[in-house]
Amino acid sequence: SQTFTITVLPGDGIGPEVIEQAIHVLKAVEKLEDVTFTFEYARLGGCAIDEDGTPLPEETLEKARRSDAVLLGAVGGPKWDNNPAHLRPETGLLGIRKALGLYANLRPAFMLDCMVEVSALKEEVVRGVDLMVIRELTGGLYFGEKKRYKTENGEVASDELIYHEYEIERIVRRAFEVARLRGKKLTSVDKANVLESSRLWRKVVDRVAHDYPDVELRHQLVDSCAMELLRWPKQFDTIVTENMFGDILSDEASMLTGSIGMLPSASLADGNFGLYEPVHGSAPDIAGKGIANPTATILSAAMMLKYSFGMERAANAVEKAVHKVLNSGVRTADIAKSKEEAVSTKEMADKIIAAMHEVYVQA
Ligand code: NAD
Ligand code: IPM
Ligand code: MN
């Protein structure tokens, strides 16, 4: 039987609540498949600042490096919001992405038929949406040189947006590979009418495109893409873009589907290693209430089964189970019509686990 070690980083806010349920799902997978998971817990973010004095303890990195994959809840919260950069939870997240070489962030956004009414947009616009935002995750504005200084005219601050050709090439190749397995349509998003880094990006995309003649390529400016995502999202299949554009566009895309509590992500290095986390944050406004939607984290665990462990069948079973439960009208508060009909974090996960058993029996 196969054995995989998973580093689990519950993090802050609703992080531990949704992680607990994703672990239950993985334990259910252990019962259904010939596999054993070893869960290694570690701290990242605000909880690590409080316990270890740093958002990314060395021990956490070492555990992650020794494991086959990492499952993360979310980090951050008001308690640490006024801290200097090196003592911010978000710095720990950026640090672990960089240290583990997780440059390819896959963020699917899909609309299930039974969820159409949850979206703020018109039914005809969102029905059938199925797209993938591929975000460069370890370069660009987030990792360039930062400066802050005083002048006689007041303070000045700057963040450098820098990309090396090899950083663009590897993410773009990955995106073409993903597009090839999806709808064979790739939209590369940049701001090449203004930014030099975008002009280099476009040049690299055009060069790599020669190796993928079967994938239809389009370049689009980021402002126009943001607009088109709301006007007619079904024109998109796979989108590839730099770090900050991808951060913003993936949150925008999540709203096409109703709730950010639904959407998973995979942050991949070369090879099979990856870190898996929901797209949403630590949701301080609902933390501790037991009402967070665990779906995004459970689907992130499914992405881990697929991309890091090659367990396609189990991954599909988790996805099918989620669809089944949503189809039957079970809703957490973020996607429910009324508070009265909403189920808790735990109830949602329990239903998904029960549905997984049914899916396996049928298959
Ligand atoms: P957020 O995603 O935490 O919350 C935005 C809104 O969505 C809130 O109203 C929240 O209640 C709701 N929401 C989020 N996840 C939900 C879920 N699973 N179920 C139901 N509702 C959900 O974004 P924010 O409020 O901008 O950020 C809060 C903190 O999280 C900040 O400290 C931020 O830096 C951090 N953050 C962390 C990550 C991460 O760890 N990957 C990502 C984004 C934000
Ligand atoms: C995300 C988050 C992070 C990011 C923050 C918390 C550093 O918004 O994962 O999308 O901007 O990458
Ligand atoms: Mn974000």
Long-range CB contacts (< 8 A, 24+ apart) of 341-346?
Answer: 342/291, 344/290, 344/291, 345/14, 345/17, 345/18, 345/21, 345/290, 345/291, 345/292, 345/293, 345/294, 346/21, 346/290
Please report the atom of ligand 2 found closest to the CA of residue 247: 10
If one residue of 80, 81, 93, 249 were mutated to test the ligand 2 pocket, choosing by the most ligand atoms within 8 A of its CB, it would be 93
Residue 239 Cα to ligand 3 midpoint, Å, equals: 16
Residue 304 Cα to ligand 2 midpoint, Å, equals: 19
Q: Please give the model's pTM, rounded to 2 decimal places.
A: 0.96
pLDDT digits (tens, 9 = 90+) for 81-93: 999 999 999 999 9
Is ligand 1 within 6 A of the CB of residue 282?
yes
Annotated domain spans of the chain: 1-103+269-363, 106-261
pLDDT digits (tens, 9 = 90+) for 296-352: 999 999 999 999 999 999 999 999 999 999 999 999 999 998 888 999 999 999 999
Q: Which residues are annotated as a binding site?
A: 77-90, 97, 107, 135, 223, 247, 251, 281-293
Residue 179 dihedral angles phi and psi, to the nearest 5°: -60, -40
pLDDT class for 118, splitting at 50, 70, 90? confident
The CATH number assigned to the domain with range 1-103+269-363 reads 3.40.718.10
Residue nearest to atom 9 of ligand 2 (CA): 279
pLDDT class for 66, splitting at 50, 70, 90? very high
| 200-226: average pLDDT | 98
| Topology at the third CATH level for domain 106-261 | Isopropylmalate Dehydrogenase (3.40.718)
